[in-house]
């Protein structure tokens, strides 16, 4: 037997016990003739004490960091206790030990505050994984996984695996493809999600399916994306949107309870996509704080009907606002005393290329009831007050105003709101606010191709009332500049996203389950009948054999873990992640393959560089 106990479990109760431990040498400290070793394993650290009598053996077998050591000895109470450690009240007086394996000096210290940089730690990920901080993240991940599985199992969901080698049907992201040796010239794709399989399982009658499953998308990696990531993927039959929202609200609440000990108190808030865009400029609003966007100029877009505020800024000679498609304001609480330096800094912030605005207008709502603005010249005090009131500003607040093209301005104001929320400490790490965003548009306009694409995916059902709009109108867009006037722009989907603290953690929809409607959907996306048959004939065919009404959702498992763990990066919660260029620097993958492999695949490389 290699060990009788782990390095995390011995306490005063074990004093006088004979034990054997096995683990890694964290530190070796010599005090005169005595040697102390901190021995680490997955469960903790135990102090070993080597008396003088062992010195000849230690001299013959010097211990180094990360050596794998087995030590036998007796537990005794420590004189110098360490309250930080679970095992801090005891130590083991070693009587006998064996070096099970030596280690070369690790390239960084295996400690919470390691001296290793990101790249080095990625290269030696197996060592990084020994660190407590990383281990805690993986433990949290496993806890979320267990909690989800328990909940889903208790609710009659069945875990069913679906294949990884499938047919390439890119819609949305790019597929990763895999050449087939046995079918030369043909390729599999790795699934972007098990979407069509879970729908087929519904046709097969497995009315509650789930899978914690890898998905693969060959996208350019923005900061927090991985080419392979994990979803908690679910599908249910005989359900309407309300059933799905309730079931999966329950799932997330259960995870909060099991993993964080939090009783999520309320019913999860709900907001339509239009309201989210209108009030927060964003389809995944962080509702931990207010500071909502106020449209102070009538918008021209789909939101035109939302504007109930009077026109507040046009027609007084301030060209910037007169010319702008959109003018948006937010009221930042308690910041009326910002100095010139601070407002200049904010102006620079909105002018950064990532935000892309030309400038920033502000109104200081002074506590004495006066108003001071960078556009005093154009707007008399009553008008400044009217704008400030519309934005919901109180005395002591600072109103920030951005103007320009609608989409960009909305996005920029949303970013500015989040930034101010962060600076003012309103985005608290330990506060969790869930939100369902509902009624997404079914279609999105793809400018480059001048056609409609599915905003969620092509299997999402339109709202029942909107089905005739889809069926009775041609998808053709005659005038690209006026695509918003096309009837398709207003078709809403039976689709929903779950948002947590400003992050989309899950999304899904009620599906189309009739062949003819699905065919119409493919046609609306610009596919010919031959193309839809070639790509999705299997699904269209299946819909003819008794497909039940169904719908589902998938949660981004990595992201959910990172938010629950209070981290910005999903990479911290993945055992072996890729870097920002999609490389595994530990394996040095992707890499070239042998000529023999190319020959077997009957593939010739013709690289363009």
Stretch that binds ligand ASP, among 236-244, 281-289, 439-447, 503-511 (CB under 6 A): 503-511
Distance in Å, CB of 586 to ligand ASP, minimum: 27
Give all strands of the β-sheet with 398-404 in edge-to-edge order: 294-295, 326-332, 398-404, 361-365, 371-373
Per-residue binding string, ligand ASP, 60-99, x by CB under 6 A, is ----------------------------------------
**Six-digit token string for 3:** 């060990």
Do the bridges between strand 326-332 and strand 398-404 make them parallel or antiparallel, or are there none, so unpaired? Answer: antiparallel
How many residues line the site for ligand ASP (CB under 6 A)? 8
**Six-digit token string for 267:** 């019913």
Nearest one of 425, 402, 392, 436 to 289, comparing CA atoms: 425
CA distances from 378 to 158, 312, 337, 384 (A): 65, 12, 22, 10
Distance in Å, CB of 275 to ligand ASP, minimum: 22
Q: Is 193 in the site for ligand ASP (CB under 6 A)?
A: yes
Query: Is the Cβ of residue 418 or residue 498 nearer to ligand ASP in the bound state?
Result: 498
Distance in Å, CB of 323 to ligand ASP, minimum: 39
Query: Is the Cβ of residue 542 or residue 553 nearer to ligand ASP in the bound state?
Result: 553
Distance in Å, CB of 235 to ligand ASP, minimum: 7
Query: Is the Cβ of residue 461 or residue 509 nearer to ligand ASP in the bound state?
Result: 509
Query: Is the Cβ of residue 239 or residue 402 nearer to ligand ASP in the bound state?
Result: 239
The residue ranges of DSSP E strands in 267-383, in sequence order, are 269-272, 294-295, 326-332, 361-365, 371-373
Q: Are 510 and 244 in contact (CB under 8 A)?
A: yes
Q: Is 195 in the site for ligand ASP (CB under 6 A)?
A: yes
Query: Is the Cβ of residue 7 or residue 554 nearer to ligand ASP in the bound state?
Result: 554
Query: Is the Cβ of residue 47 or residue 169 nearer to ligand ASP in the bound state?
Result: 169
Distance in Å, CB of 144 to ligand ASP, minimum: 18
Query: Is the Cβ of residue 404 or residue 508 nearer to ligand ASP in the bound state?
Result: 508
Residues 506-525 binding ligand ASP (CB under 6 A) are 507-509
Stretch that binds ligand ASP, among 137-145, 293-301, 504-512, 565-573 (CB under 6 A): 504-512
Distance in Å, CB of 282 to ligand ASP, minimum: 18
Residues 545-564 binding ligand ASP (CB under 6 A) are 552-554
Stretch that binds ligand ASP, among 10-18, 341-349, 360-368, 505-513 (CB under 6 A): 505-513
Distance in Å, CB of 513 to ligand ASP, minimum: 14
- Alpha-carbon torsion (433, 434, 438, 440), positive or negative: positive
3 state DSSP class of 371 = strand
Query: Is the Cβ of residue 227 or residue 552 nearer to ligand ASP in the bound state?
Result: 552
* Element counts in the chain: helices (H) and strands (E): 16, 22
- Alpha-carbon torsion (429, 230, 453, 495), positive or negative: negative
Query: Is the Cβ of residue 47 or residue 195 nearer to ligand ASP in the bound state?
Result: 195
Q: Are 498 and 252 in contact (CB under 8 A)?
A: yes
Query: Is the Cβ of residue 508 or residue 577 nearer to ligand ASP in the bound state?
Result: 508
Residues 438-477 binding ligand ASP (CB under 6 A) are none
Q: Is 46 in the site for ligand ASP (CB under 6 A)?
A: no
**Six-digit token string for 149:** 């599985």
- HSE-up of residue 207 (Cα within 13 Å, Cβ side): 8
Distance in Å, CB of 599 to ligand ASP, minimum: 37
Distance CA 7, CA 145 (A): 26
DSSP per position, 226-291: -SEEEEEEEEEES--HHHHHHHHHHHHHHHIIIII-----SPPEEEEHHHHHHHHSSSS--TTS--
Distance CA 161, CA 166 (A): 13
**Six-digit token string for 180:** 């087939």
Distance in Å, CB of 554 to ligand ASP, minimum: 4
Per-residue binding string, ligand ASP, 143-182, x by CB under 6 A, is ----------------------------------------
Distance in Å, CB of 460 to ligand ASP, minimum: 7
Distance in Å, CB of 574 to ligand ASP, minimum: 18
3 state DSSP class of 542 = helix
Within 8 A by CB and 6+ apart from 74, the residues are 16, 17, 18, 19, 92, 93, 95
Q: 590: how many CB neighbours lie within 10 A of its CB?
A: 11
Distance in Å, CB of 509 to ligand ASP, minimum: 5
3 state DSSP class of 395 = coil
Distance of CA 68 to the CA centre of its chain: 37
Interface with ligand ASP by CB under 6 A: which residues?
193, 195, 507-509, 552-554
């Amino acid at each position: 037997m290699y060990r009788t106990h782990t390095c995390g479990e011995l306490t005063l109760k074990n004093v006088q016990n004979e034990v054997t431990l096995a683990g890694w040498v964290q530190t070796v400290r010599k005090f005169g003739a005595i040697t102390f070793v901190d021995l680490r394993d997955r469960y903790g650290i135990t102090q070993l004490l080597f008396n003088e009598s062992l010195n000849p053996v230690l001299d013959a077998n010097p211990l180094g960091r990360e050596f794998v050591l087995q030590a036998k000895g007796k537990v005794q109470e420590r004189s110098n206790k360490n309250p930080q450690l679970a095992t801090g009240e005891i130590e083991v007086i070693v009587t006998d030990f064996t070096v099970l394996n030596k280690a070369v000096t690790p390239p960084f210290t295996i400690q919470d505050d390691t001296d290793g940089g990101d790249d080095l730690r990625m290269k030696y990920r197996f060592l990084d994984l020994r660190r407590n901080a990383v281990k805690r993240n993986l433990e949290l991940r496993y806890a979320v996984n267990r909690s989800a599985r328990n909940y889903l199992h208790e609710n009659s969901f069945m875990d069913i695996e679906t294949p990884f080698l499938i047919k390439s049907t890119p819609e949305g992201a790019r597929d990763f493809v895999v050449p087939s040796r046995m079918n030369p010239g043909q390729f599999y794709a790795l699934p972007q999600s098990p979407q069509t399989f879970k729908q087929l399982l519904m046709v097969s009658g497995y009315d509650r399916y789930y899978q914690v499953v890898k998905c693969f998308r060959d996208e350019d990696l923005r900061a927090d994306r991985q080419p392979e990531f994990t979803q908690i993927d679910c599908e249910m039959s005989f359900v309407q949107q309300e059933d799905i929202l309730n079931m999966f609200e329950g799932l997330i609440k259960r995870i909060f309870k099991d993993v964080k000990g939090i009783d999520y108190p309320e019913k999860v808030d709900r907001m339509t996509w239009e309201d989210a865009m209108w009030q927060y400029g964003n389809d995944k609003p962080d509702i931990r704080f207010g500071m909502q966007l106020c449209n102070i100029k009538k918008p021209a877009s789909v939101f035109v009907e939302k504007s109930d505020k009077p026109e507040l800024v046009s027609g007084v000679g301030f060209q910037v606002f007169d010319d702008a498609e959109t003018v948006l304001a937010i009221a930042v609480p308690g910041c009326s005393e910002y100095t010139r330096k601070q407002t200049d800094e904010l102006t620079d912030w909105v002018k950064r290329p990532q935000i892309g605005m030309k400038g920033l207008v502000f109104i200081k709502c002074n506590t004495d009831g006066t108003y001071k603005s960078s556009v005093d010249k154009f707007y008399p005090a009553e008008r400044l007050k009217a704008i400030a009131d519309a934005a919901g500003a109180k005395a002591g607040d600072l109103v920030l105003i951005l103007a320009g093209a609608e989409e960009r301005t909305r996005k920029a104001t949303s970013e500015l709101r989040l930034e101010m929320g962060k600076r003012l400490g309103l985005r608290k790490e330990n506060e969790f606010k869930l939100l369902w965003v509902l009624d997404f548009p079914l279609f999105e306009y793809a400018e480059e191709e001048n056609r409609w694409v599915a905003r969620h995916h092509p299997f999402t059902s339109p709202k029942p009332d909107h089905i005739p709009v889809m069926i009775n109108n041609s998808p053709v867009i005659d005038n690209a500049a006026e695509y918003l006037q096309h009837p398709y722009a207003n078709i809403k989907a039976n689709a929903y996203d779950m948002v947590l603290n400003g992050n989309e953690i899950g999304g899904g929809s009620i599906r189309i389950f009739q062949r003819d409607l699905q065919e119409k959907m493919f046609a609306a996306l610009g596919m010919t009948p031959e193309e839809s048959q070639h790509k999705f004939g299997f699904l269209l065919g299946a819909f003819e054999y008794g497909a039940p009404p169904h719908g589902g959702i998938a949660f981004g498992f990595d992201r959910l873990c990172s938010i629950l763990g209070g981290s910005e990066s999903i990479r911290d919660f993945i055992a072996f992640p890729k870097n920002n260029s999609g490389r595994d620097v530990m394996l040095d993958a992707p890499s070239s393959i042998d000529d023999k492999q190319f020959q077997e695949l009957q593939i010739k490389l013709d690289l363009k560089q």
